[in-house]
Homo-oligomer: A and B are copies of this chain.
Protein backbone atom coordinates (compact mmCIF):
# COMPACT_ATOMS: atom_id res chain seq x y z
CA UNK A 1 0.00 0.00 0.00
CA UNK A 2 1.00 3.52 -0.59
CA UNK A 3 -1.86 5.41 0.99
CA UNK A 4 0.28 8.37 2.02
CA UNK A 5 0.86 11.31 -0.33
CA UNK A 6 2.92 14.48 -0.03
CA UNK A 7 6.11 15.68 1.62
CA UNK A 8 4.92 18.43 3.98
CA UNK A 9 1.19 18.73 3.50
CA UNK A 10 0.56 14.99 3.67
CA UNK A 11 -2.55 12.86 3.52
CA UNK A 12 -3.07 9.28 4.69
CA UNK A 13 -6.32 7.69 3.53
CA UNK A 14 -7.96 4.54 4.84
CA UNK A 15 -11.06 2.41 4.58
CA UNK A 16 -12.57 -0.44 2.64
CA UNK A 17 -15.74 0.01 0.67
CA UNK A 18 -17.55 -2.52 2.83
CA UNK A 19 -15.83 -2.00 6.18
CA UNK A 20 -17.04 0.22 9.04
CA UNK A 21 -15.63 3.56 7.85
CA UNK A 22 -13.51 5.50 5.40
CA UNK A 23 -11.47 8.60 6.05
CA UNK A 24 -8.20 10.44 6.00
CA UNK A 25 -5.59 12.03 8.22
CA UNK A 26 -4.19 15.33 6.97
CA UNK A 27 -0.72 15.80 8.41
CA UNK A 28 1.22 19.03 8.06
CA UNK A 29 -1.60 21.50 7.44
CA UNK A 30 -0.41 24.88 8.71
CA UNK A 31 -1.93 26.23 11.91
CA UNK A 32 -4.30 29.17 12.02
CA UNK A 33 -6.49 28.22 9.05
CA UNK A 34 -10.23 28.59 9.62
CA UNK A 35 -11.82 25.20 9.07
CA UNK A 36 -15.41 24.08 9.70
CA UNK A 37 -17.05 20.77 8.76
CA UNK A 38 -19.08 22.45 6.01
CA UNK A 39 -15.84 23.32 4.18
CA UNK A 40 -15.38 19.59 3.76
CA UNK A 41 -19.01 18.50 3.58
CA UNK A 42 -19.68 20.62 0.50
CA UNK A 43 -17.21 18.64 -1.58
CA UNK A 44 -18.24 15.29 -0.08
CA UNK A 45 -21.81 16.06 -1.08
CA UNK A 46 -20.70 16.67 -4.64
CA UNK A 47 -18.86 13.32 -4.66
CA UNK A 48 -21.72 11.38 -3.03
CA UNK A 49 -23.55 8.73 -5.02
CA UNK A 50 -27.25 9.06 -5.75
CA UNK A 51 -27.26 12.73 -6.61
CA UNK A 52 -28.75 12.33 -10.05
CA UNK A 53 -29.77 9.71 -12.53
CA UNK A 54 -26.22 9.74 -13.81
CA UNK A 55 -25.05 8.03 -10.63
CA UNK A 56 -25.26 4.80 -8.69
CA UNK A 57 -28.34 4.70 -6.45
CA UNK A 58 -26.23 3.55 -3.46
CA UNK A 59 -27.20 6.02 -0.79
CA UNK A 60 -24.72 7.17 1.79
CA UNK A 61 -25.14 10.14 3.99
CA UNK A 62 -21.39 10.68 4.09
CA UNK A 63 -21.32 13.03 7.04
CA UNK A 64 -17.76 13.98 7.87
CA UNK A 65 -16.59 14.20 11.47
CA UNK A 66 -13.41 16.12 12.35
CA UNK A 67 -11.72 14.09 15.09
CA UNK A 68 -8.59 16.13 15.72
CA UNK A 69 -6.38 19.00 14.66
CA UNK A 70 -9.05 21.72 14.90
CA UNK A 71 -10.21 23.69 17.92
CA UNK A 72 -12.59 26.61 17.87
CA UNK A 73 -12.79 26.22 14.07
CA UNK A 74 -9.07 26.94 13.72
CA UNK A 75 -6.43 24.41 12.64
CA UNK A 76 -3.82 23.69 15.31
CA UNK A 77 -1.06 22.54 12.97
CA UNK A 78 -1.57 19.00 14.26
CA UNK A 79 -2.95 16.04 12.28
CA UNK A 80 -6.55 16.51 11.15
CA UNK A 81 -8.37 13.17 11.27
CA UNK A 82 -11.53 13.00 9.15
CA UNK A 83 -14.03 10.18 9.53
CA UNK A 84 -17.01 9.08 7.45
CA UNK A 85 -18.98 6.00 8.51
CA UNK A 86 -20.07 3.50 5.89
CA UNK A 87 -23.76 2.75 6.07
CA UNK A 88 -25.32 1.22 3.05
CA UNK A 89 -23.38 -2.00 2.54
CA UNK A 90 -24.63 -4.99 0.69
CA UNK A 91 -21.84 -7.54 0.57
CA UNK A 92 -24.19 -10.26 -0.64
CA UNK A 93 -24.02 -8.49 -4.00
CA UNK A 94 -20.45 -9.64 -4.23
CA UNK A 95 -20.80 -13.38 -3.91
CA UNK A 96 -19.90 -14.36 -7.45
CA UNK A 97 -16.93 -12.06 -7.30
CA UNK A 98 -15.17 -14.41 -4.91
CA UNK A 99 -14.94 -17.04 -7.63
CA UNK A 100 -14.76 -14.97 -10.80
CA UNK A 101 -12.49 -11.93 -11.00
CA UNK A 102 -14.39 -9.06 -12.59
CA UNK A 103 -12.82 -8.11 -15.93
CA UNK A 104 -10.76 -4.90 -15.80
CA UNK A 105 -11.44 -4.61 -12.08
CA UNK A 106 -8.77 -5.02 -9.41
CA UNK A 107 -9.99 -8.35 -8.05
CA UNK A 108 -7.41 -10.56 -9.71
CA UNK A 109 -4.45 -8.22 -9.24
CA UNK A 110 -5.29 -7.70 -5.55
CA UNK A 111 -5.53 -11.43 -4.96
CA UNK A 112 -2.14 -12.06 -6.53
CA UNK A 113 -0.57 -9.11 -4.75
CA UNK A 114 -1.95 -9.60 -1.27
CA UNK A 115 -2.88 -13.28 -1.17
CA UNK A 116 -6.02 -12.37 0.74
CA UNK A 117 -9.11 -10.66 -0.52
CA UNK A 118 -11.61 -8.21 0.90
CA UNK A 119 -15.26 -9.18 0.89
CA UNK A 120 -15.97 -6.80 -1.91
CA UNK A 121 -13.28 -8.12 -4.19
CA UNK A 122 -11.09 -5.11 -4.69
CA UNK A 123 -10.99 -3.83 -1.10
CA UNK A 124 -9.43 -0.44 -1.43
CA UNK A 125 -9.92 -0.52 -5.22
CA UNK A 126 -13.30 1.10 -5.02
CA UNK A 127 -14.75 4.47 -5.79
CA UNK A 128 -15.55 4.75 -2.11
CA UNK A 129 -11.83 5.07 -1.41
CA UNK A 130 -12.05 8.58 -2.85
CA UNK A 131 -14.05 9.84 0.15
CA UNK A 132 -10.79 10.27 2.05
CA UNK A 133 -9.20 12.11 -0.87
CA UNK A 134 -12.10 14.52 -1.19
CA UNK A 135 -12.21 15.19 2.54
CA UNK A 136 -8.46 15.81 2.75
CA UNK A 137 -8.46 17.77 -0.48
CA UNK A 138 -11.09 20.11 0.92
CA UNK A 139 -8.71 21.00 3.75
CA UNK A 140 -5.94 21.67 1.25
CA UNK A 141 -8.28 23.78 -0.83
CA UNK A 142 -9.32 25.87 2.16
CA UNK A 143 -5.69 26.59 2.99
CA UNK A 144 -4.87 27.50 -0.60
CA UNK A 145 -7.86 29.80 -0.90
CA UNK A 146 -7.34 31.54 2.42
CA UNK A 147 -3.58 32.02 2.12
CA UNK A 148 -3.04 32.45 -1.60
CA UNK A 149 -6.44 33.06 -3.15
CA UNK A 150 -6.13 29.93 -5.27
CA UNK A 151 -9.34 28.71 -6.96
CA UNK A 152 -9.73 25.23 -8.43
CA UNK A 153 -12.57 24.33 -10.77
CA UNK A 154 -13.03 21.04 -12.65
CA UNK A 155 -15.73 20.06 -15.11
CA UNK A 156 -16.72 17.31 -17.53
CA UNK A 157 -15.42 18.09 -21.00
CA UNK A 158 -16.20 14.81 -22.71
CA UNK A 159 -18.48 11.79 -22.34
CA UNK A 160 -17.86 9.18 -25.02
CA UNK A 161 -18.22 10.84 -28.39
CA UNK A 162 -19.75 14.02 -26.96
CA UNK A 163 -17.14 16.73 -26.47
CA UNK A 164 -17.93 20.13 -24.99
CA UNK A 165 -16.40 23.33 -26.33
CA UNK A 166 -13.68 24.81 -24.09
CA UNK A 167 -15.21 27.24 -21.57
CA UNK A 168 -13.56 30.50 -20.55
CA UNK A 169 -11.04 29.05 -18.10
CA UNK A 170 -10.43 32.41 -16.45
CA UNK A 171 -14.03 32.62 -15.19
CA UNK A 172 -15.60 29.20 -15.03
CA UNK A 173 -17.13 28.55 -11.56
CA UNK A 174 -18.46 25.55 -9.65
CA UNK A 175 -21.92 27.08 -9.80
CA UNK A 176 -21.85 26.90 -13.58
CA UNK A 177 -20.43 23.40 -13.46
CA UNK A 178 -23.10 22.14 -11.06
CA UNK A 179 -25.88 23.70 -13.10
CA UNK A 180 -26.13 20.50 -15.13
CA UNK A 181 -26.46 16.94 -13.84
CA UNK A 182 -23.35 15.83 -15.74
CA UNK A 183 -21.26 18.79 -14.51
CA UNK A 184 -20.56 20.11 -17.99
CA UNK A 185 -20.88 23.92 -18.12
CA UNK A 186 -21.95 23.85 -21.78
CA UNK A 187 -25.73 23.31 -21.67
CA UNK A 188 -25.98 21.82 -25.13
CA UNK A 189 -23.15 19.38 -24.68
CA UNK A 190 -24.45 18.55 -21.21
CA UNK A 191 -27.81 17.57 -22.62
CA UNK A 192 -26.22 15.31 -25.21
CA UNK A 193 -23.97 13.74 -22.57
CA UNK A 194 -26.93 13.01 -20.32
CA UNK A 195 -28.77 11.47 -23.25
CA UNK A 196 -25.77 9.25 -23.98
CA UNK A 197 -25.40 8.20 -20.36
CA UNK A 198 -29.10 7.28 -20.20
CA UNK A 199 -28.76 5.18 -23.32
CA UNK A 200 -25.68 3.41 -22.02
CA UNK A 201 -27.39 2.78 -18.69
CA UNK A 202 -30.44 1.32 -20.40
CA UNK A 203 -28.15 -1.06 -22.25
CA UNK A 204 -26.45 -2.10 -19.00
CA UNK A 205 -23.17 -0.78 -20.36
CA UNK A 206 -20.89 2.07 -19.27
CA UNK A 207 -19.02 4.91 -20.97
CA UNK A 208 -15.73 6.82 -20.53
CA UNK A 209 -15.06 10.53 -20.43
CA UNK A 210 -12.70 13.40 -19.69
CA UNK A 211 -12.52 15.81 -16.76
CA UNK A 212 -10.83 19.17 -17.34
CA UNK A 213 -9.54 21.36 -14.53
CA UNK A 214 -8.18 24.86 -14.03
CA UNK A 215 -6.27 26.23 -11.01
CA UNK A 216 -6.26 30.01 -10.85
CA UNK A 217 -4.26 32.31 -8.63
CA UNK A 218 -1.18 30.21 -7.90
CA UNK A 219 1.82 32.53 -7.76
CA UNK A 220 4.95 31.92 -9.82
CA UNK A 221 7.53 29.72 -8.13
CA UNK A 222 5.68 26.59 -7.04
CA UNK A 223 6.99 23.20 -8.18
CA UNK A 224 10.07 21.19 -7.29
CA UNK A 225 12.31 20.20 -10.16
CA UNK A 226 13.49 17.51 -11.03
CA UNK A 227 11.04 14.82 -9.93
CA UNK A 228 8.58 17.07 -8.11
CA UNK A 229 7.59 19.25 -11.06
CA UNK A 230 4.03 20.56 -10.89
CA UNK A 231 2.97 18.49 -13.89
CA UNK A 232 4.73 15.37 -12.56
CA UNK A 233 2.97 15.51 -9.20
CA UNK A 234 -0.36 16.41 -10.79
CA UNK A 235 0.07 13.46 -13.15
CA UNK A 236 0.74 11.10 -10.27
CA UNK A 237 -2.19 12.46 -8.29
CA UNK A 238 -4.60 12.22 -11.22
CA UNK A 239 -3.51 8.78 -12.43
CA UNK A 240 -3.96 7.55 -8.86
CA UNK A 241 -7.71 8.20 -9.13
CA UNK A 242 -9.61 4.99 -9.82
CA UNK A 243 -10.34 4.52 -13.57
CA UNK A 244 -8.01 7.35 -14.71
CA UNK A 245 -6.10 6.40 -17.84
CA UNK A 246 -4.40 9.58 -19.01
CA UNK A 247 -3.27 13.06 -18.04
CA UNK A 248 -2.05 16.01 -20.01
CA UNK A 249 -1.27 19.61 -19.17
CA UNK A 250 -1.57 22.79 -21.24
CA UNK A 251 -1.24 21.89 -24.91
CA UNK A 252 -0.91 18.25 -23.78
CA UNK A 253 -1.01 15.55 -26.43
CA UNK A 254 -1.79 18.27 -28.93
CA UNK A 255 1.75 19.58 -28.39
CA UNK A 256 3.05 16.59 -30.33
CA UNK A 257 1.58 18.14 -33.46
CA UNK A 258 2.84 21.67 -32.93
CA UNK A 259 5.90 23.67 -33.91
CA UNK A 260 8.05 25.59 -31.47
CA UNK A 261 7.33 29.11 -32.71
CA UNK A 262 3.63 28.42 -32.51
CA UNK A 263 3.85 26.67 -29.12
CA UNK A 264 6.17 29.06 -27.30
CA UNK A 265 4.38 31.50 -25.00
CA UNK A 266 5.85 34.99 -25.49
CA UNK A 267 6.40 37.02 -22.34
CA UNK A 268 4.55 40.27 -21.84
CA UNK A 269 4.12 42.68 -18.97
CA UNK A 270 0.95 42.02 -16.93
CA UNK A 271 0.62 44.75 -14.32
CA UNK A 272 3.48 44.33 -11.88
CA UNK A 273 4.50 40.89 -13.04
CA UNK A 274 5.67 39.19 -16.21
CA UNK A 275 2.99 37.09 -17.90
CA UNK A 276 2.63 35.21 -21.13
CA UNK A 277 0.54 36.11 -24.16
CA UNK A 278 -0.57 32.57 -24.93
CA UNK A 279 -0.61 29.77 -22.36
CA UNK A 280 0.22 26.52 -24.12
CA UNK A 281 2.48 25.77 -21.17
CA UNK A 282 -0.57 25.41 -18.92
CA UNK A 283 0.89 27.73 -16.31
CA UNK A 284 4.00 25.61 -15.78
CA UNK A 285 7.48 26.09 -17.25
CA UNK A 286 10.43 23.92 -16.29
CA UNK A 287 8.12 22.25 -13.80
CA UNK A 288 7.52 25.54 -11.95
CA UNK A 289 4.39 27.69 -11.97
CA UNK A 290 4.78 30.95 -13.89
CA UNK A 291 1.72 32.74 -12.53
CA UNK A 292 -0.62 31.87 -15.43
CA UNK A 293 -3.61 29.55 -15.07
CA UNK A 294 -2.72 25.90 -14.59
CA UNK A 295 -5.02 23.68 -16.62
CA UNK A 296 -5.02 19.99 -17.42
CA UNK A 297 -7.19 17.05 -18.47
CA UNK A 298 -7.76 13.60 -17.01
CA UNK A 299 -9.11 10.74 -19.13
CA UNK A 300 -11.33 8.14 -17.47
CA UNK A 301 -12.17 4.71 -18.82
CA UNK A 302 -15.73 3.38 -18.81
CA UNK A 303 -16.49 1.83 -15.40
CA UNK A 304 -15.60 -1.86 -15.37
CA UNK A 305 -18.76 -2.83 -13.50
CA UNK A 306 -21.56 -3.31 -16.06
CA UNK A 307 -24.85 -5.18 -16.00
CA UNK A 308 -24.29 -6.80 -19.39
CA UNK A 309 -23.22 -10.46 -19.20
CA UNK A 310 -19.49 -10.95 -19.74
CA UNK A 311 -17.64 -14.01 -20.98
CA UNK A 312 -14.54 -14.42 -18.85
CA UNK A 313 -12.74 -16.99 -16.67
CA UNK A 314 -12.85 -17.85 -12.98
CA UNK A 315 -9.75 -18.01 -10.78
CA UNK A 316 -9.14 -21.59 -11.92
CA UNK A 317 -9.11 -20.47 -15.54
CA UNK A 318 -12.44 -22.07 -16.43
CA UNK A 319 -14.58 -20.18 -18.92
CA UNK A 320 -17.52 -18.52 -17.16
CA UNK A 321 -20.26 -16.01 -17.82
CA UNK A 322 -20.35 -13.23 -15.23
CA UNK A 323 -23.49 -11.25 -14.45
CA UNK A 324 -22.86 -8.51 -11.92
CA UNK A 325 -25.39 -7.47 -9.34
CA UNK A 326 -25.03 -4.34 -7.23
CA UNK A 327 -25.37 -0.68 -8.09
CA UNK A 328 -22.95 0.91 -10.49
CA UNK A 329 -22.24 4.21 -12.19
CA UNK A 330 -22.71 4.05 -15.95
CA UNK A 331 -20.30 6.97 -16.24
CA UNK A 332 -17.88 8.09 -13.55
CA UNK A 333 -16.79 11.51 -14.75
CA UNK A 334 -19.52 13.68 -13.14
CA UNK A 335 -18.61 12.30 -9.71
CA UNK A 336 -14.88 12.44 -10.52
CA UNK A 337 -15.07 16.24 -10.72
CA UNK A 338 -14.62 16.90 -6.96
CA UNK A 339 -12.01 14.13 -6.77
CA UNK A 340 -9.90 15.81 -9.45
CA UNK A 341 -10.25 19.12 -7.59
CA UNK A 342 -9.22 17.46 -4.33
CA UNK A 343 -6.12 15.87 -5.81
CA UNK A 344 -5.10 19.14 -7.44
CA UNK A 345 -5.49 20.93 -4.12
CA UNK A 346 -3.39 18.34 -2.28
CA UNK A 347 -0.56 18.69 -4.81
CA UNK A 348 -0.59 22.49 -4.80
CA UNK A 349 -0.82 22.77 -1.02
CA UNK A 350 2.28 20.64 -0.66
CA UNK A 351 4.19 22.60 -3.30
CA UNK A 352 3.17 25.91 -1.74
CA UNK A 353 4.62 24.84 1.60
CA UNK A 354 7.78 23.48 0.01
CA UNK A 355 8.35 26.81 -1.69
CA UNK A 356 7.86 28.69 1.59
CA UNK A 357 10.38 26.37 3.24
CA UNK A 358 13.30 27.81 1.33
CA UNK A 359 12.45 31.42 2.02
CA UNK A 360 13.21 33.10 5.28
CA UNK A 361 9.95 34.36 6.72
CA UNK A 362 10.03 37.64 8.59
CA UNK A 363 8.26 35.96 11.49
CA UNK A 364 11.08 33.63 12.53
Contact = CB atoms under 8 A, between A and B. Distances in A.
B109 A290 contact: yes
B252 A246 contact: yes
19 contacts: A14-B27, A14-B78, A23-B81, A71-B119, A78-B123, A106-B286, A109-B287, A209-B256, A219-B364, A235-B235, A235-B239, A245-B251, A246-B255, A255-B299, A255-B300, A255-B301, A263-B301, A266-B311, A268-B313
Interface stretch (A42-50, A166-174, A175-183, A353-361): A353-361
A223 interface: yes
A304 interface: yes
A281 to B, nearest CB: 6
Contact of A261 (B66, B78, B107, B205): B205
Contacts of A228: 1-2, 240
Contacts of A284: 109
Interface string A227-256: 111011111111110101111111111011
B103 A276 contact: yes
Copies of chain A in the complex: 4
A267 B69 contact: no
B260 A304 contact: yes
A224 interface: yes
A28 interface: yes
A21 B288 contact: no
Given A4-B4, A104-B263, A266-B310, 9 more contacts: A14-B80, A32-B115, A209-B256, A219-B364, A245-B252, A246-B252, A268-B319, A280-B301, A361-B362
Which of A22, A222, A226, A299 has the most B CB atoms < 10 Å from its CB?
A: A226
Nearest to A22: B68
Given A276-B103, A285-B106, A116 B31 contact: yes
Nearest to A106: B286
